[in-house]
Amino acid sequence: MGMSPYKMLDNQFQDLVADQTRLVVEIGSERGEGSTAYFRDWAQARGVDFHTVDVTDEARSHFANNVDYGGIGDIHFHTVDTGHAWCRDVLPTLNKQIAVLYLDNFDWIDPVNLQYQWLHDQIAAYAVRGVVMSNENSQEEHRLQTLYCLPHMAHQSIILIDDTYYDVTSPTGWGGKCGTAIPLMLAAGYAIANTDQGVVCYRGIDFKYL
Ligand SMILES: C[S@@+](CC[C@H](N)C(=O)[O-])C[C@H]1O[C@@H](n2cnc3c(N)ncnc32)[C@H](O)[C@@H]1O
């Protein structure tokens, strides 16, 4: 079950430089859980550009049609074929460095959920887009996003990731969505903290989880 690691931004990372030279990027827009609204408010308060990327336009419609949700505000929505292609092709044209990256997209199959119809419906919805919803494909998508984002990360920056956990059976020591992306982050100098709010990778800034 997903967590909300982005909520650490407000109470753990007050020293993070966030201004007009920086970006907040979310790959995997919210489905009613609140991440996109949280980043909109956090970025708006600091004058930082916020981009949210997804393969569907459900979040954009949701924000546009529900005034109670606070509106679209300054959110830059991107509806794409894949998040990694956006990171490869569009991100470099923005000419800004990412201060906060949130990776929580291509859904993960927890085998305990195979008993539920909603998961089979989700797998079928991916198939309609011509995509095999498998955990290998989820990891590869998150790995490629990381690969293409890393050159655009500010030195002082954080990467928040969801549905990722220690896994002694994995060659990387990590399982879940970012199981194969974490070695890239480590090689780029990020430290990784596995907290009860989710995983946070940080570089150029202190982090003492309270
Ligand atoms: C778990 S939800 C995101 C939840 C949200 N980040 C939150 O915390 O509330 C996963 C999202 O990833 C999107 N997605 C699936 N495959 C993707 C891909 N290849 N690139 C970008 N987004 C993708 C889905 O459409 C879905 O909206």
Domain ranges of the chain: 5-203
Q: What is the pLDDT of residue 3?
A: 86
Question: 25, 40, 55: which to mutate for ligand 1, most atoms within 8 A of CB?
Answer: 55
Give this prediction's pTM.
Answer: 0.97
Contact 193, 12 (CB under 8 A): no
Q: Compute, in angstroms, the gap from residue 192 CA to the centroid of ligand 1.
A: 22
Averaged confidence pLDDT in the chain = 95
CA 150 to CA 101: how far, in whole Å? 10
Q: What is the pLDDT of residue 72?
A: 85
Q: What is the pLDDT of residue 60?
A: 93
Q: What is the pLDDT of residue 66?
A: 84
CA 206 to CA 79: how far, in whole Å? 34
Q: What is the pLDDT of residue 153?
A: 98
CA-closest residue to ligand 1 atom 10: 105
Fold annotation for 5-203: Rossmann fold (3.40.50)
CA-closest residue to ligand 1 atom 7: 30
Segment 112-164, tens digit of pLDDT: 999 999 999 999 999 999 999 999 999 999 999 999 999 999 999 999 999 99
Q: What is the pLDDT of residue 195?
A: 93
The reply to whether ligand 1 has any atom less than 6 angstroms from the CB of 163 is: no
Contact 189, 179 (CB under 8 A): no
Assign 3-class secondary structure to the chain.
CCCCHHHHHHHHCCCCCCCCCEEEEEECCCCCCCHHHHHHHHHHHHCCEEEEEECCCHHHHHHHHCHHHCCCCCCEEEECCCHHHHHHHCHHHHCCEEEEEEECCCCCCCHHHHHCHHHHHHHHHHHHCCCCCCHHHHHHHHHHHHHHHHHHEEEEEEEEECCEEECCCCCCCEEECCCCCHHHHHHCCCEEEEEECEEEEEECCCCCCC
Contact 60, 72 (CB under 8 A): yes
Residues of the chain with pLDDT under 50: none
